[in-house]
Amino acid sequence: MKTIVIKIKMAKKPQQEKVSASTLKEIVAQLFKVLDVNSDGKLDRDEMKTFFKNMSATHNESFNESDFEKNWDAMDCDKNNDVDQDELYNYMYLKAKADGQLAEDES
Protein backbone atom coordinates (compact mmCIF):
# COMPACT_ATOMS: atom_id res chain seq x y z
CA MET A 1 0.00 0.00 0.00
CA LYS A 2 1.34 3.41 -1.00
CA THR A 3 0.83 6.53 1.04
CA ILE A 4 0.09 9.67 -0.88
CA VAL A 5 1.02 12.99 0.71
CA ILE A 6 -0.63 16.13 -0.55
CA LYS A 7 0.90 19.43 0.38
CA ILE A 8 -1.20 22.53 0.20
CA LYS A 9 0.60 25.81 0.15
CA MET A 10 -1.48 28.54 1.71
CA ALA A 11 -1.26 31.95 0.12
CA LYS A 12 0.22 34.45 2.50
CA LYS A 13 -1.46 37.78 3.02
CA PRO A 14 0.55 40.51 1.35
CA GLN A 15 2.37 42.54 3.95
CA GLN A 16 1.79 46.26 3.92
CA GLU A 17 4.84 48.45 3.98
CA LYS A 18 5.43 50.39 7.14
CA VAL A 19 5.66 54.15 6.89
CA SER A 20 7.86 56.49 8.89
CA ALA A 21 6.38 59.45 10.72
CA SER A 22 8.18 61.87 8.41
CA THR A 23 6.88 60.11 5.30
CA LEU A 24 3.40 60.02 6.80
CA LYS A 25 3.61 63.78 7.38
CA GLU A 26 4.42 64.29 3.68
CA ILE A 27 1.57 62.00 2.61
CA VAL A 28 -0.90 63.80 4.87
CA ALA A 29 0.20 67.20 3.49
CA GLN A 30 -0.47 66.01 -0.08
CA LEU A 31 -3.75 64.35 0.88
CA PHE A 32 -4.87 67.47 2.73
CA LYS A 33 -4.36 69.61 -0.38
CA VAL A 34 -6.55 67.24 -2.39
CA LEU A 35 -9.29 66.96 0.23
CA ASP A 36 -9.45 70.69 0.98
CA VAL A 37 -11.68 71.34 -2.02
CA ASN A 38 -12.40 74.98 -1.18
CA SER A 39 -8.75 75.67 -0.18
CA ASP A 40 -9.67 77.27 3.15
CA GLY A 41 -6.97 75.42 5.12
CA LYS A 42 -9.41 73.14 6.93
CA LEU A 43 -11.54 70.14 6.13
CA ASP A 44 -15.21 70.36 6.88
CA ARG A 45 -17.54 67.46 7.50
CA ASP A 46 -18.76 67.39 3.87
CA GLU A 47 -15.23 67.27 2.43
CA MET A 48 -14.32 64.37 4.72
CA LYS A 49 -17.59 62.55 4.15
CA THR A 50 -17.05 62.73 0.38
CA PHE A 51 -13.58 61.24 0.85
CA PHE A 52 -14.87 58.42 3.08
CA LYS A 53 -17.67 57.64 0.60
CA ASN A 54 -15.21 57.53 -2.29
CA MET A 55 -12.85 55.27 -0.35
CA SER A 56 -15.72 52.94 0.52
CA ALA A 57 -16.76 52.75 -3.14
CA THR A 58 -13.16 52.16 -4.25
CA HIS A 59 -12.94 49.16 -1.91
CA ASN A 60 -16.43 47.86 -2.83
CA GLU A 61 -17.67 48.53 0.68
CA SER A 62 -20.82 50.30 1.73
CA PHE A 63 -20.47 53.67 3.41
CA ASN A 64 -21.28 53.50 7.11
CA GLU A 65 -22.49 56.78 8.62
CA SER A 66 -21.81 55.59 12.17
CA ASP A 67 -18.20 54.67 11.34
CA PHE A 68 -17.75 58.03 9.66
CA GLU A 69 -19.02 59.87 12.74
CA LYS A 70 -16.65 57.92 15.02
CA ASN A 71 -13.72 58.75 12.75
CA TRP A 72 -14.79 62.38 12.45
CA ASP A 73 -14.98 62.70 16.23
CA ALA A 74 -11.49 61.19 16.53
CA MET A 75 -10.09 63.60 13.91
CA ASP A 76 -11.73 66.79 15.18
CA CYS A 77 -9.68 67.03 18.38
CA ASP A 78 -10.65 70.59 19.26
CA LYS A 79 -14.34 69.96 18.44
CA ASN A 80 -14.67 73.06 16.26
CA ASN A 81 -16.36 71.12 13.41
CA ASP A 82 -13.41 71.18 11.06
CA VAL A 83 -10.12 69.33 10.79
CA ASP A 84 -6.84 71.11 10.13
CA GLN A 85 -3.74 69.45 8.72
CA ASP A 86 -2.24 68.80 12.17
CA GLU A 87 -5.42 67.09 13.36
CA LEU A 88 -5.48 64.91 10.23
CA TYR A 89 -1.81 64.00 10.74
CA ASN A 90 -2.36 63.13 14.40
CA TYR A 91 -5.33 60.95 13.48
CA MET A 92 -3.41 59.15 10.72
CA TYR A 93 -0.34 58.75 12.95
CA LEU A 94 -2.37 57.13 15.74
CA LYS A 95 -4.18 54.85 13.25
CA ALA A 96 -0.89 53.77 11.65
CA LYS A 97 0.66 53.13 15.06
CA ALA A 98 -2.36 51.12 16.26
CA ASP A 99 -2.34 49.07 13.04
CA GLY A 100 1.38 48.32 13.32
CA GLN A 101 2.13 50.26 10.13
CA LEU A 102 4.39 52.89 11.64
CA ALA A 103 8.11 52.43 11.05
CA GLU A 104 10.90 53.98 13.04
CA ASP A 105 12.25 57.19 11.49
CA GLU A 106 15.81 56.97 10.29
CA SER A 107 18.17 59.26 12.17
Q: Of 36, 37, 50, which is closest to residue 85 (Cα–Cα)?
A: 36
Residues 6+ apart with CB under 8 A from 96: 19, 24, 102
> For 24-45, how does the pLDDT look when each residue is reduced to its tens digit (9 = 90+)?
999 999 999 999 999 999 999 9
**Cα distance between residue 87 and residue 75, in whole Å:** 6
pLDDT band at 105 (very low <50, low <70, confident <90, very high): low
pTM for the full model?
0.78
pLDDT score at 8: 45
* 92 close to 21: Cβ distance less than 8 angstroms: no
Average pLDDT score over residue span 51-56: 92
pLDDT band at 48 (very low <50, low <70, confident <90, very high): very high
Percent of the chain's residues with pLDDT above 70: 82
**Cα distance between residue 67 and residue 74, in whole Å:** 11
pLDDT beyond 90 at 88: yes
pLDDT beyond 80 at 18: yes
